Structure 1
Amino acid sequence: MKEESRILEAEGIMPPEVKDMVQDFKDQTLLNPRLKNTVGHISLSFSPKDAPRMTDALMTQIAKEYMQKMGITDTQYLLVRHLDQPHPHCHLVYNRVGNNGQTISDKNIKIRNAKVCRELTEKYGLYLAPGKDDVRRERLREPDKTKYEIYDAIKGSLPKCKSWNELEGKLKEQGIGIRYKYCGNTDRKQGVLFSKNGFEFSGSKIDRAFSFTKLDRHFTLVQQQTQHRATLFGNLSAAVGNYRSAFAGLFGNMGRGGSSTREEPPSVNLGKAGGIPLPPAGSPGGVSAEQLQRKPGESPEEHIARITALLDAAAAAMAIAAMERRRRMEEQKRRAKMKI
């Protein structure tokens, strides 16, 4: 109860005086004196994107349906809407001692809560934030605060890591430890736990994408991709070498000699593989700068494979042209000797 709030619904208590409502709650707890934690508190928060349609009536309807699905029935409760934040939200306070002295269970409440909230979000067409990016970190309390710190650290470090060792190193710099679970008495890992600030969580509790199985699969794929790219670059470097040799065999006099007007052929830089000269237009094995550029929608791997094949074909064509030129030259020499 605060200035920027209003009561949406109350059951079994007499608002608005807080002391009166507290006494109403205490009176009912006498029906079950053995229950220690007698008050339940739930905050139902909605996205700012749903604010225009989130009337008091709709919020109350959703909250009451939430209570039914969570088994919070036949008991005292107070539902209060707060207006101090940009996102619509309300607070539900209820007596865990029911009207007949029964206990309102809180067993597996987090799991049940997540399931019910998703059901209601989908039923009412509410905005569902993708992943954990829209969660307001500054409002979290422990242990969720630390859990999200670990989540953010893993998400930020993972693209820079190719192995478990690299991830361990990156997280250690941020004060996060890693511990593994093993299969029986073997050295085969089957689980991972992350720790910080005295809290420890399994990877799947941080996020489903951070379970040991999924992270291990990620590193395996990264290493396979790295190996595949190394093979592709090796093939490209070999193709560039063959191309240069074939180019020298066919156009070896370009850029040489004493003529001051002779110019170096234009070239294209292929990154780590180095630069290649471009043959004159219309020549055998002609390759243009445009052909070597990456096409829209083409992955880096597809680009490397395509220009490798292009250079190999060009080198083969230039080698054939060079052999044909040598054959003609030898034929001309032979004819010249016969005339003499």
Structure 2
Amino acid sequence: MPIHKGGRPAISEGRRKKYLLSLRLDAEGVTPPDVREIVQDFNDQTLLNPRIKNAVGHISLSFSPKDGVRMIDALMLDIAQEYMQRMGITDTQYLLVRHLDQPHPHCHLVYNRIGNNGQTISDKNIKIRNAKVCRVLTEKYGLHLASGKESVRRERLREPDKTKYEIYGAIKVALPQSRSWEELEKHLKAQGISMRYKYCGSTNQKQGVLFGKNGFEFSGSKIDRQFSYSKLSRHFTQAQQQTHYRATLAKGFHAAIDNYRSAFTDLFGNMGGSVNKGHADAGSINFGGNIGALPLPPNDSSVRLSAAHLQRKPGESPEEHIARITALLNTVAEAMAIAAMKQRRKLRDRKANKPKMKL
């Protein structure tokens, strides 16, 4: 999947040379490979709108290594050109080059934010627009999703990025095991990572979190946007709600099991003891654990329940499964209770209508 990187830096001498040493895919309004002429071409066009401070736009489009075999220059150029059209980068100077220094295919686009007619190439909401465009292109061209931070070659990182990625990895592992700030802090402390909060003015209201290691300290959002204070707080709230919800589900499920067993015994006898008396046995289903086997109504009973009804359906989450079979067991238990009541009523009527013997 193509992903956008970078912002709008000026072209450094090292970057200029790197672009020109790479494979040029396309260019418009500039005269490569001469570095000075390219810079002069860009500078000349910026005079059309000198109010724009950041006149040079830079975008990196990166693709998954899984697309390496099929990502020939022609396909990369097609994707890059369509990306530019969808992002509104048109009627302006640009240079598009492919880099071959990484295991994943990628290319760099340098463009003039001042168009050929002096118009401004907008960078408003560029991250949001980029994400939407990349999703469209990923689906259209059948590309693999880029793996983000997990694909970074950390052995090549220098400080402070090296430590930042170490903290990122530690939080990524610890977070699923943590239901509160205290649990997260405990997990990170075991790996030599400190955690402290930022407060709003002189109040006790927390508004940020910082993680530290090796003498470096980063705010959660600088490590990754998903680790900002607000998003982590939301994660812990949802985790606690999920824990409470699961406990409620488990309580309701066990109550349904008890109701079902009681209704089954009332209708068919002790754990199905009377099932064999004129009934076709439907067997049982084993839930394991402290629940064990649950007897099923006989096949010729008016109350229907089979093992298939209690199995987890494709795509059904564990919580959805428990909620569904809890409701099902309660419904069947109610039906068995009604059937047992009717059975007792028939028995009473039969006794009441039985003729008395005369002595």
**Same fold by TM (over 0.5)?**
yes
Amino acid of the structure 2 residue aligned with 1:132: K
Which has the higher Rg, Structure 1 or Structure 2?
A: 1
| 8 Å contact kept, 1:233–1:273 | no
Deviates more, 1:230-239 or 1:206-215: 230-239
SS at match of 1:295: coil
Q: For the Cα contact (< 8 Å) 2:195–2:210, is it kept in 1?
A: yes
| Residue matched to 2:317 | 299
| 3-state SS in 1 of match to 2:356 | helix
Question: What is the letter of the counterpart of residue 338 of structure 1?
Answer: K
SS in 2 for 1:192: strand
Q: Which moved more, 1:297-306 or 1:239-248?
A: 297-306
2:295 to 267, 273, 277: 277
Q: Cα deviations across residues 12-33 of structure 1 (Å, max 9, x unaligned)?
A: 6xxxxxxxxxxxxxxxxxxxxx
Q: Answer whether contact 2:267 2:339 (CA < 8 A) is retained.
A: yes
1:185-264, aligned counterparts within 5 Å?
185-253=202-270, 256=273
1:168 equivalent in alignment to 2:179: no
- The alpha-carbon deviation at position 286 of structure 1 amounts to 2.2
Q: How many residues align?
A: 265
For 1:246 and 1:133, the matched residues in 2 are separated by 54
- Structure 2: how far apart are the matches of 1:176 and 1:217? 22
C-alpha RMSD over aligned residues: 4.3
Partners of 2:169 and 2:153 in 1: CA distance? 12
2:336 maps to 1:336 = no
1:87–1:310 CA distance, 2 compared to 1 (3 A)? closer
Amino acid at match of 2:283: P
SS in 1 for 2:150: coil
Return the alpha-carbon distance in structure 2 between the equivalents of residues 83 and 321 of structure 1: 75
Q: Percent of aligned positions with the same letter in both sequences?
A: 58
Name structure 2 gaps, 5 residues minimum: 1-13, 15-19, 23-32, 37-57, 82-88, 90-96, 109-125
- Contact in 1 for aligned 2:220/2:227 (Cα 8 Å): yes
The residue type equivalent to 1:184 in the other structure is G
CA distance in 1, matches of 2:297, 2:227: 52
With over 3 angstroms needed to count, the CA separation of the structure-2 counterparts of 1:263 and 1:87, relative to structure 1, is closer
Q: Is the 2:281–2:299 contact (alpha carbons within 8 Å) kept by the matching residues of 1?
A: no
Is the partner of 2:294 in helix, strand or coil?
strand
Residue 155 of structure 1 is aligned with which of 172, 181, 206? 172
1:151, CA displacement in angstroms?
0.8
User: Taking structure 2 as the reference length, what is the TM-score of the superposition?
Assistant: 0.61
Distance 1:324 1:89, change over 3 A: closer
